[in-house]
Amino acid sequence: MKINYLKKGVAFCLAFSMVGLFSCTDLEAIESDSDFDQEVGGIVMPDNPTELVEAAYNNLAIFTEQNNVYSLYQHTSDEMIPPTRGVDWGDNGVWRTLHAHTWDATHAHVLTAWNDMNQRLFATQVILAANPSVEQRADALFLQGFYTHKVLDLYGVVPFREFNDGVDDLPRVISRAEAIDQAIANVEEALPGLPSLAPGENFTGSKAAANLLLTQLYLNRAVYKADNPAGPYSFNNDDLMKVVEYADAIAEDGYKVDSNYFSIFEAGTNSEAILYSNNGTPQNRWFMTLHYNNNPSGWNGFASIAELYDSFEEGDPRFGTEAEPDGTEFSGIGTGFLQGQQVGDDGQNLTTRNGAPLVFTDDVSLAGAAEGAGVRVIKYHPGRSDKYIMMRYSEAMLNKAEALFRMGNTADALAVINGMRTARGGPQLANLDEAEMLDERAREMYWEMTRRSDQIRFGTFTGEGSTWTGKPDQSDDSRVLFPIPQQALDSNPNLTQNEGY
């Protein structure tokens, strides 16, 4: 029987609300198949950790949305533009301000992302308080490390509450430098207790998932340890060797670069998918970009920009394939970057709502864009996809290549990248420098929520070079962090607003 976390005990409701983030009404949206039926020291204790763990993994579905967390990572980067087309996608500037780096502490997606992730971070504490098994404890620690990383990456601090803290105890605030070490400790403690899962339809944590997360944590540790969040960053060779070590460990469970890039995002199994979302589909990824008259009908929203698709060499299979209409449903949709005249499933040219040819053009502006402006992106094909990938092997290989590059081992870094390219029949890179390393990460991981962190780590997110299509002004260094939402500041005096807000 599904019940919400507030089923029993006013004290538990208050424990959540005192985080300074949520009302009890908000909390009822997060459900669990568990109950709370033990009282220890006045605290209502959770029961049935099995169902709590299941609920925690189901709640990864927030990452399948097109707004909130996803928008903070994607719309602020140089990979995606959210053009306003007439009155479409105006939404009081909520999308444009992200792209232009002019958001503030009242931004709706900044608040919702903060609430969503901190709520789920506390839910891991609930699991740990529920007398979990060894594997369930490992699941909780893995997810705790995962959410700690996301919160510190976006906001620079992590408000943390123990499950049995009193209702008058404000959450302590963990700094970036402390939080990254805590996240690493969580995941490394979880690692032995997680199962070894081969590639397949994996909806829960595993050793491979923990190893991939650890490559992310160690690769970005220098960023979070820096005195100035915008850098410069001093990368430690010991950390970078850990990236290599954990990336190599993933292959031991049978993971490898898949020979068909777009099959990674299709139904069925592949050799790359490490973790899927069990309670969210990839449909938003095609709805948010396709035109109203495509089949399926989309929302005519987000597009790519030239800085991304111009970085591909001719013959790179990751760029995509054209549609091959044969009369079957969704056969008029290609994969990768959709440019030019769009066609229906019958091969006939599609039109805009006004009857003009539906042509996806390279030219696109942030405001006043035409219906067809902007190259669209399809990784999850609507006719062949059914699951959303949270983690995949190629990111670990990119992290390994970057770690080798930062240690001065350019030859081995280039070999890793060219090995990935060879697996897919793509062209080889002749040379590797910092700009090419950053571009290669985009070519492999575009629209998968990695670009913002990559740009920050490589120093292109703010300052010189931080201009791109639709964003003519360089960004102030304060933009490497989002503001702490005003609602959270008002509720928890331990929080201090980030510089620049």
- Domain residue ranges in the chain: 282-385
Residue type, 2: K
DSSP for 330-390?
Answer: TTT--EEEE-EE-B-TTSPBPB-TTSSB-EEBS---SSS--TTBSBEEESS-TTT---EEE
Which tens digits make up the pLDDT trace of 415-430?
Answer: 999 999 999 999 999 9
Per DSSP, 282 falls in state T
Dihedral sign, CA of 118, 80, 456, 142? positive
Task: Look at residue 91 and tell me whether its pLDDT is greater than 50.
Answer: yes
3-class state of residue 55 by DSSP = helix
Q: What is the mean pLDDT of residues 76-93?
A: 95
3-class state of residue 10 by DSSP = helix
Which tens digits make up the pLDDT trace of 17-50?
Answer: 333 333 333 333 344 444 445 554 445 667 899 9
Which residue in 96, 109, 106, 28 sits closest to 62, CA to CA? 109
Query: Chain-wide mean pLDDT for the chain?
Result: 92
For residue 485, the model assigns a pLDDT of 96
Give the span between the Cα atoms of 232 and 201, in whole angstroms: 40
Asked if 207 and 194 touch (Cβ cutoff 8 Å), the reply is yes
Per DSSP, 168 falls in state T
Does residue 3 come out as left (phi exceeding 0), alpha (psi in the -120 to 50 range) or beta? beta
Per DSSP, 303 falls in state E
For residue 46, the model assigns a pLDDT of 75
Angle at 276 between CA 400 and CA 23, to 5 degrees: 110
Task: Look at residue 400 and tell me whether its pLDDT is greater than 50.
Answer: yes
Asked if 148 and 224 touch (Cβ cutoff 8 Å), the reply is no
For residue 163, the model assigns a pLDDT of 85
- Backbone φ, ψ for residue 102 (5° rounding): -120, 20
Tokens 């032995």 correspond to 192
For residue 30, the model assigns a pLDDT of 42
Asked if 482 and 155 touch (Cβ cutoff 8 Å), the reply is yes
- For residue 169, name the pLDDT band (cuts at 50, 70, 90): confident
Which residue in 379, 386, 399 sits closest to 203, CA to CA? 386
Q: In what order do the strands lie in the sheet with 376-378?
A: 320-321, 335-338, 376-378
Which tens digits make up the pLDDT trace of 312-367?
Answer: 999 999 999 999 999 999 999 999 999 999 999 999 999 999 999 999 999 999 99
43 vs 258, residue with greater confidence: 258
Asked if 110 and 483 touch (Cβ cutoff 8 Å), the reply is yes
- What's the distance, Cα to Cα, between the start and end of the chain in Å? 44
Percent of the chain with pLDDT over 70: 91
Task: Look at residue 10 and tell me whether its pLDDT is greater than 90.
Answer: no
- Backbone φ, ψ for residue 109 (5° rounding): -70, -30
pTM recorded for the entire structure: 0.92
18 vs 292, residue with greater confidence: 292
Which tens digits make up the pLDDT trace of 98-127?
Answer: 999 999 999 999 999 999 999 999 999 999
